[in-house]
Amino acid sequence: MASTSTASFPQQNFDYFLILDFEATCQDGEKIKPCQEIIEFPVILLDGQTFEEVARFHRYVQPTVCPKLTPFCTDLTGISQEMVDNQPEILEVLQEFDDWFNERNLSDKRFIFVTCGDWDLQTQLRHEGKYKKFEVPKYFSEWINIKESFKKHRGYKGYGMMTLLKEMKLQHSGRHHSGIDDTINIAAITKALAKEGFVFEPTGKAPEKKGKKNVR
Ligand code: AMP
Ligand code: MG
Ligand code: MG
């Protein structure tokens, strides 16, 4: 009996899943103006056959529009002022992520980002890009919202990461609203759904850029 296999997963449509969960500047009860900024950028790369972690990208990011974190933000995320001061700004982190992504030749593979909600890739990154005038790389244009996958699999809604963990009978690990801990928990949910036989499909797509429509 030499088998070391502990779980079998259905064949997926992706070679790699990139679990991502941004944290951003915030305050209690109202929106940060003029622009919320990403302060933590964690991505966990999961193998699409074994759902094991194969690599990790993790940076804290210095906000530049509102460089001072609110006490509310620090309480929520566990990210202190010292953790973002002297860190690279978002453009530099995006470049570092691009290098990390390309070193692994991920664009030649079947890959997909996984988030909990659509906020990270549909809202935050795009709003910040518009405000700071940077292009959002094309690989962020499609993703899986794990809440949608859960709903499709179980037939009822899961309202947030903590609910999904409970529904999947998984222990929460680390601190809720720490980006890296949230990615670890979202990775566990992704793996558990696959273990129950779920085959993932993309659920979210960035809107087409204006002015790029085909003219007939
Ligand atoms: P999460 O991934 O759920 O930890 O949240 C991502 C970001 O959404 C946080 O870094 C905050 O900027 C914002 N956020 C989450 N929950 C709250 C909240 N209760 N009040 C204000 N902002 C929040
Ligand atoms: Mg999140
Ligand atoms: Mg989070």
Task: Domain 12-205: give its CATH architecture.
Answer: 2-Layer Sandwich (3.30)
Pairing relationship of beta strands 53-60 and 142-145 according to DSSP bridges:
unpaired
Question: Using one digit for the tens of pLDDT, what is the confidence trace for 59-103?
Answer: 999 999 999 999 999 999 999 999 999 999 999 999 999 999 999
Supply the pTM of this predicted model. 0.94
Ligand 1 proximity of 20 Cβ (cutoff 6 Å): no
Question: Using one digit for the tens of pLDDT, what is the confidence trace for 1-52?
Answer: 444 555 689 999 999 999 999 999 999 999 999 999 999 999 999 999 999 9
Å from CA of 21 to ligand 1 middle? 10
149, pLDDT greater than 90:
yes
What residues contact 147, with CB distance under 8 A and at least 6 apart? 116, 117, 157, 158, 159, 160, 164
179-195 and 146-154 helices, crossing angle to 10°: 30
Domain-wise residue ranges, the chain: 12-205
| pLDDT score at 211 | 58
Question: Measuring CA to CA, how many Å separate 110 from each of 29, 35, 77, 145, 205?
Answer: 40, 33, 32, 17, 16
117, pLDDT greater than 80:
yes
Ligand 1 proximity of 182 Cβ (cutoff 6 Å): yes
Pairing relationship of beta strands 16-20 and 111-115 according to DSSP bridges:
parallel
Residue with CA at minimum distance from ligand 1 atom 6: 23
